[in-house]
Amino acid sequence: MRSAQQILAEANVIAVVGASRDPFKPAHTVPLQMLKYGWRIIPVNPFVDEVFGVKTVATLADITEPIDLVDIFRPARDAVEVVRQAVAVKAPAVWLQSGIVSAEARKIAEEAGIDYVEDRCLAVERSIGNLTKLS
């Protein structure tokens, strides 16, 4: 399994499940920061049309391009189903944001052979590794 730093360094397209249009929520500020640093962000939120100026999709299955990473901003009880969906769309990695932990989601990811990170923040890891996708 790849480390969190490797996953981020190798990812280009990040699907963000639970992306928020509320500029005061981490589910808005974190993916926006990743977008600004050069990652392609696809917000997944069935209740809004766009987040930070990017058109949303309702589900992971609605994404028509390969996904490198599924970033989850949903409660742990919802993470299990999101990880199942990530496996179904053949995402190579899932990432549960800070404060989100799920033994069942971890088991599903491990059994599918996909990388799994939980209880860590993409933006913090990006900063620690000084990672950027901008040239």
When pLDDT is averaged across residues 49-59 and rounded to a whole number, the result is: 95
What is the pLDDT confidence band of residue 1, given thresholds at 50, 70 and 90? confident
3-state SS assignment for residue 89: coil
Fold of the domain spanning 4-119: Rossmann fold (3.40.50)
Place of tokens 């040239």: 135
Task: Give pLDDT, residue 134.
Answer: 63
Q: Going by C-beta distance under 8 Å and a sequence separation of 6 or more, which residues neighbour residue 49?
A: 55, 56
Per-residue DSSP letters for 12-66? -EEEEET--S-TTSHHHHHHHHHHHTT-EEEEE-TT-SEETTEE-BSSGGG--S-
Task: Give pLDDT, residue 46.
Answer: 96
Domain ranges of the chain: 4-119
Does the reported pTM lie above 0.85?
A: yes
Hey, what long-range contacts does 33-40 have (CB within 8 A, 24 or more apart)? 33/123, 33/126, 34/122, 34/123, 34/126, 37/126, 37/131, 37/132, 37/133, 37/134, 38/132, 38/133, 38/134, 38/135, 39/11, 39/12, 39/13, 39/14, 39/133, 40/12, 40/13, 40/14
pLDDT tens-digit series, residues 108-118: 999 999 999 99
